[in-house]
Amino acid sequence: MRHAPDFETLAHDPDDPNPWLALYLDRSTPLGAHVKQAWLADSSSPSRQYLLPVIRPLARLTIILFQLLKIVMPRSFRASGPLHALLVWGLTRFVRPEANWLILRHFHLGSDILAFIARNAPEGIEVPTNPLRPSNIADLRDDVFVRHDLNLFNFVINLNKQLKAHDLRLGPPAQVDFSDLKEPPIRLEDMPNRWTNVLDLQTAIELFTPAYQIFLSDDDFWRATNSLQLDETIGTYCADILDGHKYLALVNNGHPLVPLTTLRAGFRLVLHGLASETLHALLRGYAQQQQAERMAAG
């Protein structure tokens, strides 16, 4: 059992300031203390410091080699079941508790955000959603990673087809409905925490990305990596509903019409996770502000 650093009680030495403490105390991003604690504990781990610089170039080389192999493999080859079994096995045995906790949270946050947009779409627009809310790592076996990508593209397509058909655009409703936004019921203390669970989030993602590539079709892998380009799109939808764009600078995965190569998919996936945490926290902050205003008024 390992214990993550407690940034609330970490001493500050002016002659040797801790950079992670500075990031924890900084409040320019609207993350909850529990999320920031887990994120920075994972980021400051020995795995990220010593393993990631070695793993990342090797993983990217593997992606190139697998891309060459894909030329001679059947284009329709797809083994999502074995892929998810491998991911569950690796997450359970080798990945840090904080990283696993953040991964499970991510599916809840994404489902909440899409539901928020759908609920606050103009009247007459009904967008189906397919929420993914795994309660533990074993639940990920149900093709959750692939379904997460499908949900995002299907949501954008269905929403905009309806908006176009009705000649409408997203905008602030008379009363913004925040009822879909909840704190995920995932507990950090329930995550596997054996001596082998040492890999940080970024290193684990770099290792798993080539597996994602080889077990999925080219179309699936391309869609998975380019779904990350939609962070700004989803952020813009929420900003339109809130009538405020000041936090869009925090969503920085690049313009959706300029897709990047798959070589940087691991790094961009980490940005995607942070963007989701930030957006969800921002929306919940607006919800709390709305509730406080209602109580003050009545």
At residue 190 the predicted structure's pLDDT band, cuts being 50, 70 and 90, is very high
Identify the pLDDT of residue 105. Answer: 97
Q: Is pLDDT at 186 greater than 60 in this prediction?
A: yes
Answer whether residue 19 is part of any domain. Answer: no
* Residue type for position 84: H
Identify the pLDDT of residue 255. Answer: 61
Q: Is pLDDT at 37 greater than 90 in this prediction?
A: yes
What are the tens digits of pLDDT across the range 141-165?
999 999 998 999 999 999 999 999 9
Answer whether residue 266 is part of any domain. Answer: yes
Count of structural domains within the chain: 1
Answer whether residue 22 is part of any domain. Answer: no
Identify the pLDDT of residue 28. Answer: 82
CA separation for the pair 248, 236 (Å, rounded): 7
Mean pLDDT of all residues in 158-186: 94
Answer whether residue 274 is part of any domain. Answer: yes
Judging by beta carbons within 10 Å of its beta carbon (0-12, 13-18, 19+), is residue 190 exposed, middle or buried? middle
Answer whether residue 3 is part of any domain. Answer: no
Mean pLDDT of all residues in 22-38: 89
Mean pLDDT of all residues in 104-109: 96
Mean pLDDT of all residues in 33-58: 93
Answer whether residue 41 is part of any domain. Answer: yes
Q: Is pLDDT at 298 greater than 80 in this prediction?
A: no
Mean pLDDT of all residues in 262-291: 85
Could you tell me which residue, 86 or 289, shows the higher pLDDT? 86
At residue 251 the predicted structure's pLDDT band, cuts being 50, 70 and 90, is low
At residue 275 the predicted structure's pLDDT band, cuts being 50, 70 and 90, is confident
* b/e 234-273 (16+ beta carbons within 10 angstroms → b): bbbbbbbbbeeeebeebbebbebeeeeebbbbbbbbbbbb
Show Cβ contacts of residue 39 under 8 Å, excluding neighbours closer than 6 positions: 31, 98, 102, 274, 277
Identify the pLDDT of residue 173. Answer: 92
CA separation for the pair 21, 9 (Å, rounded): 10
Answer whether residue 118 is part of any domain. Answer: yes
At residue 2 the predicted structure's pLDDT band, cuts being 50, 70 and 90, is low
CA separation for the pair 143, 280 (Å, rounded): 24
At residue 222 the predicted structure's pLDDT band, cuts being 50, 70 and 90, is confident
Helices and strands in the chain, H and E counts: 11, 0
What residues make up the domain containing 229? Answer: 29-297
* Residue type for position 80: S
Nearest partner of 180 among 120, 234, 236, judged by Cα: 120
Could you tell me which residue, 249 or 47, shows the higher pLDDT? 47
What are the tens digits of pLDDT across the range 240-250?
898 876 656 55
Could you tell me which residue, 136 or 226, shows the higher pLDDT? 136
SS3 95: strand
Answer whether residue 287 is part of any domain. Answer: yes
